[in-house]
Structure 1
Amino acid sequence: MSSKDITVVVQGPVQTFSDREQEPGITQKCLNSIRQFLPGAKIILSTWHNQDLTDLDYDQLVLCDDPGTNIRAYNLDGTPQTFNNNRQIVSTLSGLHHVTTPYAMKLRSDNYLISDAFIHLQQAFPNRCNEDQFFKERVVVVNTFTRRYAKGLPVAFHMSDFFYFGRTEDVIACWDMPLVDDFIATKKEPYNIGFPDYSIDCTQMLFIRAMQKFDPAFTLNGLLDYQIDKQILSDRCFANNFVIADPQQVGVGLCRKFAVKARVSRTKGKVAHWQFKEWQQLYKKYCDPNFDLKYSMVAQCKLFLQRCLYVFPARLENKRRLQQRQKKALLNK
């Protein structure tokens, strides 16, 4: 694969936009890293009107109309929980629609490349199984926020929205969806869908909306909805359509907000995510029984012990919080 076969869609704000703070100079760092590691690749910057584009190196500019925030749930005190889901859909999909090369990358404007390892990863696992094969080829994603556990419990369909690399039509399929309607409270669900369970995570919602084009079985009633059929569907879809690895293995650098001291980049946060070796276990199970998986028992035991220390204890706290949510809801009626 040549870099000339790749278009990188850099999506998001260039400076602090609305209520989202942006690290100074990070978009320039992002664009320069693409020139360094993908010489000859086309860069499409998909951002908002009235952004300062001075000294930014890109090939094509896509300016988007701001759809504003969306409401996905309400707090127990009645205040809305607002998110930038529609902004991400608009800036990503608007840029992807201008791609003419065989391969495309979706990259946040506050992240950057540290290598081109994603090219090798995308081609390194050729075998597929017949069930739940939705894409022409695999799409590479990072494991940051690709959670295996949340609140100490296993979760399904929790795919990161940071980085996507693969065939252009496959990457588009991951983002081709209608905008998110505001949640409307009902007597049955006064605060969020699935109450008293937590609202599904933004990444779960985006992933489910994308995959429902292929199979309407992609549904969740809450963050912790983890029925056996959904677990199997989630695992097989991950194995058959994606490659999941940590940012360093993929070749992606994270902005300060998500790096070094941030919880998601500390051991406590990392061990709740899908690990590359665990994804390889799925690949071996569903796609290639003869795959030579080099994953020692020592490494597996270390990960399990780390989860015993940092992940699983949250289950008891989560049970207590769910009970409190239900009690508060009754008091507020």
Structure 2
Amino acid sequence: MQSSDITFLVQGPIRERTKESLQSIRKSCPESKIILSTWQGEDISGLEYDDLVLNEDPGSLKIYLDDEVVNNENTNRQILSVSNAISHVKTEYCVKTRTDIEFVNDNFIKLYEDNYLKYSRDSDNTLLKQRVLISSINTPNPSCFLQFVCQVSDWFFFGLTKDLKEIWCQDLITQSDYYHNENNVPDREYKNGFYFGRFSAEQLISLGFLKKHNESLPTYFRDKDFIDFTNRLLSSEFIVAEPNRIGFTFLKYRNYCELNFKKISDVKSYLAFYSVTTNFVRWNQLCSKYDPTKRESVKYFIHEKLCMLFSQYLKKKIYKL
């Protein structure tokens, strides 16, 4: 695969480092096309791209607590800015990324080529033509104490354009569907103070994709009946890896994306997210578990147990549970 086979769909508002974000793509993948999908009225002067999609803002969704708006959710904005722009993609492969993510290399290409056929896929959960590469950050391990199910990170997607269309071309969420009294959400303590309704933003996007294929879906963000389903979905339809393994950084969350030994707080932040997400090693472990032609590796097993131990420490330290 060459960079000319790939289009970068960069979506979101114009941010402080959007210029650097676009320049990083030019440097890492000089032959790739760049489509910038943003909002009408945004200042796009001085930005480098090949195609521009200016969207009409669909507005935010409101989250209520006792009839008072406590948060606004931008999920519809993300769905619209991706689904409107992806029809402009003419290459076989596509990267969906954000206006605040910066690429440091093109490692994601080899990572994808080395792994999309490495394991067999679950015939009962084959929803895409090929696996899609995603970020481990914000893709929780549903088997750890958090038990967030059917959540796939919305930061980065790489795969066949037709597969990204299948994921992202979905109906917008109506306010009536999303309206939810936060007091009625079970296990609220596992939100750690965040207001996000019955599901997180990432879960809503994943569920919009899954409902095209599945009648049975989770009822809320920790629906434990869907833990095994989520593990099978991640192993069969995705490749999950850390941002530094993929080749990008997210400056807003840099201490979660890059291991910085100079500050103990950064080391703790990195290990915290690493232990509770489906990282690349854990993804391999899942694939080995569900692939009848493979044997589960002892090193994967040990890695899983270490992550579980650290996550239990986090449960007591951060969540006080």
**TM-score normalised to the size of structure 2?**
0.85
- The question of whether the paired residues in 2 share the 8 Å contact of 1:155 and 1:223 is answered with yes
Q: Which runs of 5+ in 1 are unaligned?
A: 16-23, 318-333
Cα RMSD over matched residues?
2.7
Matching residue of 2:231: 235
Give the secondary structure class of the aligned counterpart of 2:68.
coil
Tell me what 1:271 maps to: 275
User: Structure 1 residues 135 and 78 mapped into 2: Cα distance closer, same or farther (>3 Å)?
Assistant: same
CA offsets 1:15-34 (integer angstroms, 9 cap, x no match): 3xxxxxxxx2x111111111
Structure 1 residue 98 and structure 2 residue 88: aligned?
yes
Please say if 1:178 is aligned against 2:182. no
What secondary structure does 2:158 align onto?
strand
Q: Which moved more, 1:190-199 or 1:161-170?
A: 190-199
Of the structure 1 ranges 121-130 and 239-248, higher mean CA displacement relative to structure 2 is found in: 121-130
How many angstroms does 1:8 deviate by? 0.4
Q: CA separation in 2, counterparts of 1:108 and 1:148?
A: 23
Equivalent AA in structure 1 for residue 101 of structure 2: N
Compute the displacement of 1:183 (Å).
3.6
Deviation at 1:35, TM superposition (A): 0.9
Q: What secondary structure, in the 3-state scheme, does the structure 1 residue paired with 2:165 have?
A: helix
Q: 1:13 to 1:112 in 2, by over 3 A?
A: same
Aligned to 2:224, the other structure's residue is in SS state coil
SS in structure 1 opposite 2:125? coil
Matched, 1:84 2:77: no
Does residue 54 (structure 1) correspond to residue 55 (structure 2)? The answer is no
Determine which of 205, 209, 219 is the counterpart of 1:221. Answer: 219
Rate the CA distance shift 1:174–1:14 in 2: closer, same or farther, 3 A: same
**Conserved 8 A contact 1:28-1:55:** yes
| TM-score of the aligned structures, taking structure 1 as reference length | 0.82
Aligned partner of 1:281 in structure 2 is: 285
What is the rounded CA distance, in whole Å, between the counterparts of 2:69 and 2:147 in structure 1?
28
Residue 4 (structure 1) aligns with = 4
SS in 2 for 1:46: strand
Larger Rg, first or second structure (1 or 2): 1
Match of 2:20 in 1: 29
Residues 112-127 of structure 1: pairs in structure 2 closer than 5 A: 112-125=102-115, 126=117, 127=120
- Looking at structure 2, the residues matched to 27 and 247 of structure 1 have their Cα atoms a distance apart, in angstroms, of 18
1-structure distance, mates of 2:144, 2:319: 6
Deviations 1:108-137 (A, max 9, x none): 001121221211222223132322111111
The alignment status of 1:129 with 2:141, answered yes or no, reads no
Q: Secondary structure at the match of 1:154?
A: coil
Which of the residues 45, 68, 77 maps onto 2:59? Answer: 68
- Structure 2 alignment gaps of length 5 or more: 189-197, 256-264
Between 230-239 and 257-266, report the one with greater CA deviation: 257-266
Structure holding more helix per residue: 2
Corresponding position of 1:330:
none
